[in-house]
A and B are shown apart, each in its own frame.
Chain A
Amino acid sequence: MAKVKKAKRTGVKQDMTPMVDVAFLLLTFFMLTTQFRPPELTPVSLPSATAERKLPDKDIMVVTVGAKGDVYLGVDAQPTRDRIFNNYIAKRLGEAGMGAAAVEDSARKFRLAEGFFVGDGSNMERLATNLETMIIQARLAEPRLRPVIKADVTADYEYIKLIMDTFRKTNMPTFNLITSLEALPKPQN
């Protein structure tokens, strides 16, 4: 009995090198292409639409509107964030009497943050002026930015209108609305 068992367990030897090669190739590919989703500024449930145009993957400026009308602005590239901070925010913080170390600290936070709070419905005028200044600053930092609105389905049109008006005022009449894909309706006619 023992003999039989041993004979069976010689096993098969297989050269696993090619498989491992492929595995590593795939691993490298996925590691390099993965982009981790940044933490959300505010939960947004996207409206669904049939539009299939994709969001460009760089040079975008996203204005996020939460369900309650809280508005955030963010740009995707860190160098752009740096420039916005150094050109504008650092000065403002300095004027407000903040020390150099503190400014440095908030610069680091700013660089890593997906976006920053601009204002909300409690003070529409301040929201409007803030938004306009920040959009202008962002455009100064990176002229190729493409404006994008990412708003919650239940957000009031008031905010969207304000943002659209601001885009228009700052000479960016073309922008994108982020939607989630919906199948084309069944009866097309």
Chain B
Amino acid sequence: MGGGVAAPESQSSRKKGKKKKTKRIGFTLDMTPMVDVAFLLLTFFMLTTTFAKPNTMEVNLPSKDMTEVKVAESNVLTIRVTEGDKAYWNIAFDEPKPFELYDRSGEKPTISNAFRELLKTESEKIRQRVGEDVMAIVLKFDKKAQYRNLVDVLDELNILRYKRFSIADYTEQDAEEIKKVSGTQPAKPTQP
């Protein structure tokens, strides 16, 4: 690692020019340490820099003075998620039916195919009936549901390009309905 940028030569050139060009000898500086430091810093900054900005998912809630959009009840698919990743779905005022939101066969739980199938078949049914793609999805998360559920469901809807969905409050009534179906015996046909 020895040897400067121009150090070895300096000795001989100085000897030669000593008499004639005394003024113009200049000086040579051994720049090795500086270059070493420069490279050290360069390596450091190169290794520590991360250009990656965090990724984000954009959410648009209706602003508070937005007018309500009216949708026929029969076109509304409600998805409720409660504590412990339990998920239920229903159309209009039907009885909520449980489904597996996550597929746990892999190393990490991922959104199950059941959920995708469900969305596809239900939207297809509605399309057949109405003749248009008018299914609206309402998402209701219990307060004990996890943040993960929200992100996963929103992400899945984004991937499958469902544009008509909204996030609604999980009310007492929802809780009651879920309690009814998650109880031991299957409940009787629902009421509104």
Interface residues of A (CB under 8 A from B): 11, 13, 15-17, 20, 23-24, 26-27, 30-31, 33-34, 36-37, 46-47, 49-55, 57, 65, 148, 151-161, 164, 167-169, 171, 173-181, 184-185, 187-188
Q: Which residues of A contact B50 (CB under 8 A)?
A: 37
The answer to whether A174 and B58 have CB atoms under 8 Å apart is yes
Tell me the interface secondary structure of chain B in the complex. mixed
Interface size on B, residues (CB 8 A): 49
Q: Which residues of B contact A159 (CB under 8 A)?
A: 147
Could you tell me the distance in whole angstroms from the C-beta of B190 to the nearest C-beta in chain A? 25
Segment touching A, from B19-27, B61-69, B181-189 = B61-69
The answer to whether B38 and A51 have CB atoms under 8 Å apart is no
Q: Does B93 contact A (CB under 8 A)?
A: no
Interface residues of B (CB under 8 A from A): 3, 5, 8-9, 31, 35, 38-39, 41-42, 45-46, 48-51, 53-64, 110-111, 113, 141-152, 154-155, 158-159, 167, 169
The answer to whether A157 and B46 have CB atoms under 8 Å apart is no
Given A26-B42, A27-B41, A177-B59, A57 and B53 contact (CB-CB distance below 8 Å): yes
Q: Which residues of A contact B146 (CB under 8 A)?
A: 153-157
Could you tell me the distance in whole angstroms from the C-beta of A118 to the nearest C-beta in chain B? 17
The answer to whether A50 and B158 have CB atoms under 8 Å apart is yes
The answer to whether B58 and A53 have CB atoms under 8 Å apart is yes
